[in-house]
């Protein structure tokens, strides 16, 4: 007899609960209808095109994928590849970073624990290099809504000053790039906070004995002024 709580496959499709009514065509061409799931016999189910019952196997939805194989009439559990898992980790990491971008803005509240937010964001950026396998990833705890005593390092005034200085550096850097770029071929260094030529200046360069020739892309000796 049919199990009213079980799943059955109709003509190879993914298993579902049985309908209240089934039908099949007899050998002589007459269509027979039957109602009442708990009264269907196995023979009647087979005539109506149903197979089963089937049970959905247990699987880890975070790291595995379940699908129905209509050819072999069975459920298949497939492990999600590490590549896809890492892709999910990166997507979640990017979402969390965007979610707290406001903490890095110049107008962020001074009551924020900037040091903890900085450390939290750095842990997010390092998440893919901190673990060998995506299944081992442990997400850092957001400072959102946490009191100072919950942190290993308390909020200090120097942290707020540091972030204000960094904001000013970014502003100066952006202005320098747009306004006072010496030559088209020169590039900006974020670490040295200055423009640099494509070729390093001569060893004896003292700031006045050589000049940059943008046309030939080289340093040349500064012409001697005639007296």
Q: Which residues contact 156 (CB under 8 A, 6 or more apart)?
A: 115
* Cα(200)–Cα(181) distance, integer angstroms: 17
pLDDT value for 50: 92
Would you kindly state where each structural domain of the chain is located, as residue ranges?
7-78, 82-155, 195-227
pLDDT value for 90: 94
pLDDT averaged per 10 residues, the chain (length 227): 88 92 86 87 90 90 90 91 93 93 82 82 90 90 70 50 66 63 82 81 82 90 65
Backbone angles phi, psi at 220, to 5 degrees: -130, 155
Q: 70's torsion region: left (phi>0), alpha (psi -120 to 50) or beta?
A: alpha
- Asked if 140 and 123 count as a contact pair (C-beta separation under 8 A), the reply is yes
- Asked if 188 and 177 count as a contact pair (C-beta separation under 8 A), the reply is yes
Short-list 106, 95, 111, 105, CA closest to 143: 111
Short-list 165, 175, 222, 223, CA closest to 195: 175
* Cα(7)–Cα(205) distance, integer angstroms: 83
pLDDT value for 178: 54
């Amino acid at each position: 007899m049919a199990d009213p709580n079980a799943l059955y496959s109709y003509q190879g499709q993914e298993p579902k609960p049985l309908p209240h009514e089934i039908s099949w065509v007899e050998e002589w061409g007459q269509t027979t209808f039957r109602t009442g799931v708990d009264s269907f016999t196995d023979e009647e189910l087979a005539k109506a095109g149903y197979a089963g019952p089937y049970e959905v196997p247990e699987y880890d939805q975070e790291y595995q994928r379940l699908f129905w194989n209509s050819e072999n009439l069975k459920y298949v559990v497939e492990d999600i590849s590490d590549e896809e898992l890492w892709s999910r980790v990166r997507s979640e990491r990017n979402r969390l970073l965007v979610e707290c971008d406001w903490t890095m803005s110049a107008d962020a509240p001074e009551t924020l624990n900037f040091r903890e937010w900085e450390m939290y964001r750095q842990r997010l950026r390092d998440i893919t290099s901190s673990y060998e396998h995506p299944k081992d990833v442990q997400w850092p705890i957001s400072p959102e809504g946490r009191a100072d005593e919950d942190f290993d390092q308390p909020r200090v005034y120097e942290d707020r000053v540091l972030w204000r200085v960094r904001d000013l550096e970014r502003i100066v850097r952006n202005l320098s790039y747009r306004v006072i770029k010496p030559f088209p071929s020169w590039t900006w260094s974020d670490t040295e906070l200055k423009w640099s030529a494509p070729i390093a200046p001569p060893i004896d360069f003292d700031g006045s004995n050589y000049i940059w020739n943008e046309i030939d892309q080289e340093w040349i000796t500064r012409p001697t002024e005639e007296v």
